[in-house]
Amino acid sequence: MLSDKDKIKWFDDAVKFQLDGTVYLVLKSRKDGIGAWAIEDISNHNVLNSNMEWEKELPLAKRDQAYLIRTRFDFEAATAMYEQFKMFAE
């Protein structure tokens, strides 16, 4: 069970930015001060991968290294990728 201090830290670390409608830029993890971001459509639990295709967000136990490489990005790469995705989607 999380202490109140741990809960506050968890909420401070939980970051989500709305990009468009139900599409959000979501901080999924942080290791050594570096965030791993995903572009997620929360309406259907899909994430945008590095091929600019939507795929299902896998349960934690099923996420292998290949999945994480395809779907997790640093902040700058994630925002640039979403901008590029929007250009091709229009």
pLDDT in tens, 26-60: 998 877 777 899 999 999 999 999 999 999 999 98
Q: What is the pLDDT of residue 9?
A: 67
Domain that holds residue 8: 4-89
**Domains held by the chain: number:** 1
Rounded CA gap, 17 and 20, in Å?
Answer: 9
pLDDT in tens, 51-90: 999 999 999 899 999 999 999 999 999 999 999 999 887 6
0.95 surpassed by pTM? no
Cβ count near 6 (within 10 Å): 10
